[in-house]
Amino acid sequence: MGADTLIGNDVCNRQDENLGEVKEIMLDMSTGKVAYAVLAYGGVLGLGDKLFAVPWNALELDTENKRFVLDIDKEALKTAPDSTRMPGRDSRIPPGARTSIASMAPTRTGKTARPGP
């Protein structure tokens, strides 16, 4: 599956609340695997979005509805710190954005995701 088919997909939580959309999919260049997705939350037409680094294993693909499911409370996103700019292509991202989701969202294994280096 091409990454471009996933970029722009909606993200909702288990309560079916809209959390935003996948803005980017970032690769770990040392492993060649997906490291995280950038979730754009809030804003209007891409302006004023809060950006969050969501560990890839915290997202569940809902193929029936063509969206992702993230097990997180919408209120948590409203108060979480965000990145004020899009992460660079070199996969560096401000620590606040990386930990804000990683510390709150459980992965598909049921464990809370931990931010990577």
Please tell me the CATH code under which domain 3-102 is placed: 2.30.30.240
Are 109 and 57 spatial neighbours (Cβ–Cβ below 8 Å)?
yes
The pLDDT of 87-102, averaged and rounded, is 46
The string of DSSP letters for 20-42 reads EEEEEEEEETTTTEEEEEEEEES
Say what the pLDDT of residue 47 is: 64
Q: Fill in the DSSP letter of residue 56.
A: G
Domain ranges across the chain: 3-102
Maximal CA-CA distance, the chain: 36
Task: Note if the pTM is more than 0.85.
Answer: no
- Between CA 58 and CA 55 the distance in angstroms is 5
Residues 26-46: tens digit of each pLDDT = 888 888 888 889 898 876 666
